[in-house]
Amino acid sequence: MMLRAAGKRLLGAAAGRQASPAGAARRGYHERVVDHYNNPRNVGAFDKDDPDVGTGLVGAPACGDVMKLQIRVDEGSGRIVDARFKTFGCGSAIASSSVATEWVKGKQMEEVVAIKNTEIAKHLSLPPVKLHCSMLAEDAIKAAVEDYEAKKAKLEKADEDGTPAGAIRTT
């Protein structure tokens, strides 16, 4: 109930308090953004040392925006079977990364790197000042995929070199 109240306040307060830089027309958060804020999907974390997990960490606290997006990949098929996120930032940033975790689930890694920030922004009706949040979400997806692939490459190399599996893998 507190969350809902906070959501209502967010919707209402945003209209008046949003830093519309030019005193522009008042604008609230789109209902999809509020929905993701109140009911964020896939919040949480995987063990980043898990070989099936790719972790993308983008942004910086001083900017007011940090996103950590993790994917769990099925090794055999290369399909993303699960995703988690944790985001420090505005409602739009939270919603963008929440949407990102929804969209990557069930897809191949090659597919998800094609997800564009413009699609996320359109889905959430982000205003111009918040397009940067959707860009960060796109970056987070790509970073997670890259991390998984780098990990995999490292593990495969270790196998080739004959390094004892126990030295690298964490189960």
CA-angle at 67, arms to 59 and 28, nearest 5°: 100
User: Could you say which residues in the range 123-162 bind another protein, by CB under 8 A?
Assistant: 127-129, 131-132, 134-136, 139, 142-143, 146-147, 150
Site membership for another protein, residue 117 (CB under 8 A): yes
**CA separation for the pair 10, 67 (Å, rounded):** 21
**CA separation for the pair 74, 100 (Å, rounded):** 18
Of 15 and 135, the one with the shorter C-beta distance to another protein is 135
Nearest to 74 by CA among 51, 49, 92: 51
Of 17 and 106, the one with the shorter C-beta distance to another protein is 17
**CA separation for the pair 120, 63 (Å, rounded):** 20
Contact region for another protein (CB under 8 A) — 1-9, 28-36, 54-62, 161-169? 54-62
Contact 118, 134 (CB under 8 A): yes
Helices (H), ranges, 18-130: 31-38, 91-104, 109-112, 117-124
Contact region for another protein (CB under 8 A) — 20-28, 72-80, 101-109, 155-163? 20-28
CA 157 to chain centre: 29
Nearest to 147 by CA among 65, 48, 78: 48
Q: Which of 3, 45, 63, 165 is catalytic?
A: 63
Residue among 16, 23, 162, 164 that touches another protein (CB under 8 A):
23
Site membership for another protein, residue 166 (CB under 8 A): no
Of 106 and 154, the one with the shorter C-beta distance to another protein is 154
Active site residue 133: yes
Residues identified as active-site: 63, 133
Q: What residues make contact with another protein under the rule CB under 8 A? A: 19, 21-24, 45, 48, 55-66, 68, 86, 88, 117-118, 121, 127-129, 131-132, 134-136, 139, 142-143, 146-147, 150
